Amino acid sequence: MYASASGRRAGWRDLARSALALILLAAPAPAWAGPQRPPPVAAAADLQFALTAIAERFAREHGERVELVFGSSGLLARQIRDGAPFELFLSADEAYVEGLAAAALTRDRGVVYGLGRIVLFTPRGSPLRTDEGLGGLARLLRARQVTRFAIANPEHAPYGRAAEAALRRHGIWEALQPHLVLGDNVSQAAQFATTGNAVGGIIAYSLALAPALAARGTFTLIPEEEHPPLRQRMVLLTRAGPTAACFYAYLQEPAAREILERYGFARPDQ
């Protein structure tokens, strides 16, 4: 039912370029922008709800809008290296921003905009109890009651790597392999965790807090010490124009910070 990791990677460059082209061509130019298209912003999938809310508020307050493109941080970083016309990049792992900065593709090293968290999410009717944490998943594995379990692909999704680290810490990574369903990004992993016969998944706290997902199951936070920190960094790319620069500044203002914190992003310690 689900494509293999290698199959998903094959041809991603052409697919990404085509998808981005369609997004940019299909988006109607707002009256205030004249012939100028909104600047495309590459954003980690865990920002799907928070950043959409921020962009809508930015449009109301500044009369300008941005075009949001969500995906896994690793794949978005590769697209930027391949020349995708993004003007701002919000990564779920600051290492991707630092790599682009080292390649002279950014204006500077950017800023940390939030600290992410992961949660164990279980859909309604699942035999997995969130109050047992990952220990409950280990119990189900021993009882052979695990059907499918969803995480983001650790190869290019920071939330997938955090999930793998937590599962390894509990000693169940290897036993879980036959049951894993890998999402291309954490948003897709969240979809997998709530559909089919999955017993649950490890997804972003920011997604679990969204009403659309909260209505479909329950979740519990996985302790921060069980995985590497998710320091999320954003940066203006070299092609950034004035609207993207304005949005970048807006993301650091109190109004945007309040929305980020509402969706579970801890205030950065920088």
Q: Where are the domains of the chain?
A: 5-115+231-262, 117-226
Residue 31: predicted pLDDT? 37
Residue 265: predicted pLDDT? 97
Convert the pLDDT of each residue in 48-65 to its tens digit. Answer: 999 999 999 999 999 999
CATH topology of domain 117-226: D-Maltodextrin-Binding Protein; domain 2 (3.40.190)
Contact (Cβ atoms closer than 8 angstroms) between residue 120 and residue 168: no
Residue 19: predicted pLDDT? 39
Beta bridge partners, 183, equal: 152
For 5-115+231-262, CATH number out of 3.40.50.620, 3.40.190.10, 3.40.228.10, 3.40.50.800 equals 3.40.190.10
Q: Are strands 118-123 and 88-90 parallel, antiparallel or unpaired?
A: unpaired
What pLDDT band is residue 268 in, cutting at 50, 70 and 90? confident
Contact (Cβ atoms closer than 8 angstroms) between residue 249 and residue 110: no
Convert the pLDDT of each residue in 63-107 to its tens digit. Answer: 999 999 999 999 999 999 999 999 999 999 999 999 999 999 999
Residue 147 has pLDDT above 70, yes or no: yes
Same fold? 5-115+231-262, 117-226: yes
Convert the pLDDT of each residue in 148-177 to its tens digit. Answer: 999 999 999 999 999 999 999 999 999 999
Q: Could you tell me the strand order of the sheet in which 148-152 lies?
A: 180-183, 148-152, 198-204, 118-123, 217-221
**Cα–Cα distance measured from residue 122 to residue 259, given in angstroms and rounded to the nearest whole number:** 25
Chain-wide mean pLDDT for the chain? 88
Instruction: Pick the more confident residue, 168 or 5.
Output: 168
